[in-house]
Amino acid sequence: MTLLIDRRLLLKAGTLGLGVLSIPGGAAVLAARGFTHNVASGEPRQHGVLLWTRYVPASGDTARIAWEVSETPRFARIIARGEATSESEHDHTVKVVAAGLAPGRTYYYRFRDRSGHASPVGRTRTLPDGPVASYRLALFSCSNLPFGWFNAYGHAAARDDIDLMVHCGDYLYEYDRGHYPGPREAAPGRIVEPANELIHLADYRIRYGAYRSDPDLQRLHQMYPMVAMWDDHESANDSWQGGAENHQPATEGPWADRKAAAVRAYREWMPVNEDIWESYEIGDLATIFRPETRLTARTRQLTLGAALAGQTDIPAALANFRDHQWLDPSRTLMGAEQEAWLAQGLRRSVGQGTKWQVLAQQVVMGTLALPDEAAGWARANAGQEARGRIAAGLAAAHAGLPFNFDSWDGYPAARRRVLQSALDANANLVVLSGDSHNAWGFDLDIDGHPAAVEFAGQSVTSPGYESALPGVDMDAVTRAVIHRNPQLKWANLSRRGYVTVELTPERVTGEWLMMDTIRQRSTRLAGRNAMSVTRRASRFA
C-alpha cells in the first residue's frame, strides 16, 4: 500500500504533527497517536541527563505528559519526576532534563500521559565522577536507510558493556528517493519519506520520523545515552557556512532558510541540547570535546576542478593552488572562537589531571593521497566521471595534495592549529571521526612530532570504496593506500559497522567491528580489528 502525502498541506502546517511513519516494509501511518517513536536520552552529566520522547495527543495541539526516573526497571522507587508539554509547534517532540541523579549510575525512565498510557521504558547512565578505571564508547556515522539495514545499531543495542553512544553525523540523508541509492542499489523494503529532497522544515521532520521508526535505531536510543552532532547530510551534501554542494538557491530558496529548518528539526528529534559545541567530563579519565565543523564557521570547500579550469600548465596550476589557496591560514572548519574554546579546554583538562582528551568530531583528520596504483582501478567500462576523478586525484597527489578537500585535508592550516594546541597543552589526544564511510587508523603528527591518534569509523550503511571500485581487489587497494600514506596504519575499505573505544588510565583501545551484511537484518559479524595507544605515546602501539 502506498500512502500519498499532501506535501503542500504539510508545508502550510510546518509540522509533521499527524503521526508516525513506519518504514520497514510498511506504509506511513499518519493517524498514529500516543508515544510514536519510543524514547531516547542524551547529554549525560554527573547529576543529570536529557530525556526525549514524542507524544501526539488524540485531539488538540498540546498535551501534558509526566516523566519519571528510577533505579530499577519496575520503578519501585522514583528518583526524579516532572511534567512536560507536547506541542505541535515542536512536532510533538518532548525534551526534559532529569536532575538530582548520582554519578556513574544506570537509571530507567518512562513517560506517561493523563490516561495512564506509558511509553516504553528507557535505560540511561550518568557520567562518572572521581577516579574511573574504564569507560567504553561506541562510535557511529553515515546511516543511509535505503542502502540497507542498521545492523550496526542492532548489534550495539544488544550489548551490555557500553557506557555512551557517540554519533559523529550523517544520522540521515537529505536526498530524494531513488537518488543515492539508485533503485538498483536500494535494499528491499527500505523506503524513506518524503520522496522529495529535504528542503523545508516539514521535509526534514518527516525524514526524521522515517528514520526513527527503524527498530534497531529505536532500540539503540532506548538502551543508551547518546552524544551527537550533525555533519553535512542532516542539512545538505558538503555543506559549509554559506551554502552546500547540494543546494541551489535559484530553485530551492535561501540557504539560510534551509539551514535553519535542518537545525530546528535536528534539535527537535535528537536528544541534544542547544549548545553548538560542548564538552563532557568522564571523571578523571577523559574529557570528550564535541565540536561543530559544518554550519557555524566552515569556509567553502576548495575543488580541483575550479583550480584547473582554463589552465594548460597543470603542474604549475596545482603548485600555485597548493601554495596559496590550499595553505591559506584563514581557511577554517571551526572558526577562531571555537578553536580558542578547544585549545583552552585541552589546557584545562590536562591541568586538572585528566588522563585523556577525546575530540569526537565529524570528518577524517588524517592525510590521504591517492596512490599511483589508482591508475589501474578504473575498469574499461568505467564512466568518464570516474576516470576524471582518478586522473585529478593522481595529479593532485603528485603535487603533494590530498584527494578529499571536504575533510580536514582541505584545511591543513586549521588542522595544524588544532594539533599544535594539543602539543602545547601536553594533551593525550584521541580523535574520533566519521564521514568517509571507511575504517581508518591514523597516527597524527606535526613535522614528525606525534600529536594524536585517530579512530575513524566506517559507516553504518553508506557505501565505501568497495562500491566505487566494483570488481577491483580491495585488499590490494587497501595495501596501496596504506603504503602511500605514512600516517595511515590500518584501514578497511569494504565493510560497514561501528567502532568501540575503551578508555583506561594508561591505554585506549579501539575496535572496529565489521558487519557481515546490511542487505538483510542481521547482527552477525564478519570480522574485527583492534588498535591501542598508550598514554604519552600519541602513536598506535
In which residue are the cell numbers 578547544 written?
A: 342
Write down the pLDDT at residue 436. 97
* φ, ψ (nearest 5 deg) of residue 477: -60, -45
Long-range contacts of 72-75 (CB under 8 A, 24+ apart): 72/108, 73/108, 73/121, 73/123, 75/108, 75/110
Please check the confidence at residue 125 and state whether its pLDDT lies above 70: yes
* φ, ψ (nearest 5 deg) of residue 421: -65, -35
Cα(422)–Cα(439) distance, integer angstroms: 24
pTM of the model: 0.94
pLDDT tens digits along 90-118: 999 999 999 999 999 999 999 999 999 99
Write down the pLDDT at residue 77. 96
Write down the pLDDT at residue 289. 98
Between residues 388 and 248, the one the model is more confident about: 248
Write down the pLDDT at residue 382. 59
pLDDT tens digits along 472-522: 999 999 999 999 999 999 999 999 999 999 999 999 999 999 999 999 999
Write down the pLDDT at residue 23. 37
Please check the confidence at residue 467 and state whether its pLDDT lies above 50: yes
244's enclosing H/E stretch is strand 243-244
Please check the confidence at residue 189 and state whether its pLDDT lies above 50: yes
pLDDT tens digits along 457-466: 999 999 999 9
Q: What is the mean pLDDT of the chain?
A: 93
Q: What is the DSSP string of 109-170?
A: EEEE-TTS-BPPPEEEEPPP-S--S-EEEEEE----GGG---HHHHHHHT-SS--EEEE-S-
Write down the pLDDT at residue 468. 87
Region 415-433: mean pLDDT is 98
- The percent of residues in the chain predicted with pLDDT above 90, rounded, is 88
Write down the pLDDT at residue 7. 37
Write down the pLDDT at residue 31. 63
Between residues 28 and 252, the one the model is more confident about: 252
Region 351-362: mean pLDDT is 98
pLDDT tens digits along 294-308: 999 999 999 998 988
Please check the confidence at residue 21 and state whether its pLDDT lies above 60: no
Query: What CATH class does 34-127 carry?
Result: mainly beta
Nearest to 109 by CA among 44, 162, 34: 44
Confidence of residue 383 (pLDDT cuts 50, 70, 90): low
Please check the confidence at residue 270 and state whether its pLDDT lies above 60: yes
Handedness of CA 203, 206, 207, 208 (dihedral sign): positive
Region 10-26: mean pLDDT is 36
Q: Is 182 exposed, middle or buried (0-12, 13-18, 19+ CB in 10 A)?
A: exposed
352 neighbors 287 (Cβ within 8 angstroms): no
Please check the confidence at residue 251 and state whether its pLDDT lies above 70: yes
Region 264-284: mean pLDDT is 98
